[in-house]
Amino acid sequence: MDYSTNFSKSTSKKKVVAVVGGGLVGALNACYFAKRGFQVEVFESREDIRQAKIVKGRSINLALSHRGRQALKQVGMEDTIVSKGIPMHSRMIHSLNGTQYPIPYGKKGQCIFVMLCSVTAAAETYSNTKLNFAHKLLNWINHTLTFSLSISLSLFLKYLIVGCDGAFSAIRKQFLRQSRFNFSQTYIPHGYLELTMPPINGEFAMKPNYLHIWPRNTFMMIALPNLDKTFTCTLFMPFDEFENVTTGDQVIEFFQKYFPDAIPLIGADALKRDYFRLPAQAMVSVKCSPYHLSDKCVLMGDAAHAVVPFYGQGMNAGFEDCLVFNEIMDQLNEDFSAVLPEYTRVRVPDDHAIADLAMYNYVEMRSHVNSKWFLFRKYIDNFLHIIMPRTIIPLYTMVTFTRTRYHEAVKRWHWQDKVRNDIVHSSLYKGI
């Protein structure tokens, strides 16, 4: 099938973008480029999950916050996505003794949303966008992308390739052949396993407007609500701990010891069955630089910066990639020879910063939230933010409820940490 000939004829007078990867970031990118008048071809290796009878694999629930909302807003999607999501105003901490207490995310009215709506349908509304499912990228040689089903797409100077094909990106492999391309991937020693908490009498088994967390120092479980009144429970734990639990009875014994209040909500029989339904999945953090190859190709989303899921920023950072790239195209008049290197310059330090913060936040979620000192520092941060709202802004607020650049938020956090510690120590010294 000579796809390249047909494609070239139909787009010979148009600006063309080939988006490889039709997930969240790829679909949103398609909307951005289509809105600017580009002819957009999206290639996704998987079948269209909207039509699939069985959806294979797993995914950690997605939390939409300010950065992602701003990216969606630019293409008119924010209200639709938010209206179909579930707001969460606080973390709800489940202690070992069964007591619960909330830790608000920010000021009154600030919340994050469990995202329960796809952006794929929005991309299809543009007449200049075509979604090609079950098209796995096999090769990229001499400006030609070759996909499964013997389909090839020849790319000339006017074409741009946007790699949005995930943490194990086939597009990024081409970058590895280039000189001075930096790349690292790190698997953390923890995996994740998903369980389902069913409704009780047709209603949520727990309060739905919270991110429920069972912090247990070296591991934790979280639960997020779904529209069907279930909760998706995700157990994060070192792989060697998973390997120590090998029978249904051991599963119940383990949950009785660490998550006793969850057993009647999930169901003992369901726990025994679902714990072994799929093995624990690995989590990887990916960093690379630069994000572009000449003026021909650019990486976005997990293809550029896969992060572990503990700050709830993976999707939001990917969506913000689309927004930042669009802003730079405005500034530089869509001149890709200038846009792509500028995008790398601006975005790399921010994405590396959120990758590090995601690693840090896992320790906070599974351990620090149990600490009275941590809760006291949270109280001090919030108090200082109230009396000095422009000077002291909690890290989580900067990351989740503003578009402060990630690396600048980290710098400010370190400075504020010193200021807060000086205030606390001074107060203790004076006996206040």
pLDDT at 389: 77
Q: pLDDT for 372-417, tens place per residue?
A: 666 666 777 777 777 777 778 889 999 999 999 999 999 998 888 7
Quick one: which of 155, 127, 159 has its CA closest to 3?
Answer: 155
The structure's pTM equals 0.89
Q: Contact 232/194 with Cβ under 8 angstroms?
A: yes
pLDDT at 390: 77
Burial zone of 99 (CB within 10 Å; 0-12 exposed, 13-18 middle, 19+ buried): exposed
pLDDT at 4: 43
- Three-state DSSP at 349 gives helix
DSSP result, 359-426: HHHHHHHHTGGG-HHHHHHHHHHHHHHHHSTTT---HHHHHHHS---HHHHHHHHHHHHHHHHHHHHH
Task: Return d(Cα 296, Cα 422) in angstroms, integer.
Answer: 50
The yes-or-no verdict on residue 68 having pLDDT over 50 is: yes
Q: Which residue has the higher pLDDT, 106 or 385?
A: 106
Q: pLDDT for 290-303, tens place per residue?
A: 999 999 999 999 99
Mean pLDDT, range 168-194, rounded to an integer? 94
Instruction: State which amino acid sits at residue 302.
Output: D
Q: pLDDT for 252-261, tens place per residue?
A: 999 999 999 9
Q: What's the mean per-residue pLDDT of the chain?
A: 87
pLDDT at 430: 57
Task: Return d(Cα 155, Cα 296) in angstroms, integer.
Answer: 9
Mean pLDDT, range 227-238, rounded to an integer? 95
Task: Return d(Cα 413, Cα 409) in angstroms, integer.
Answer: 6
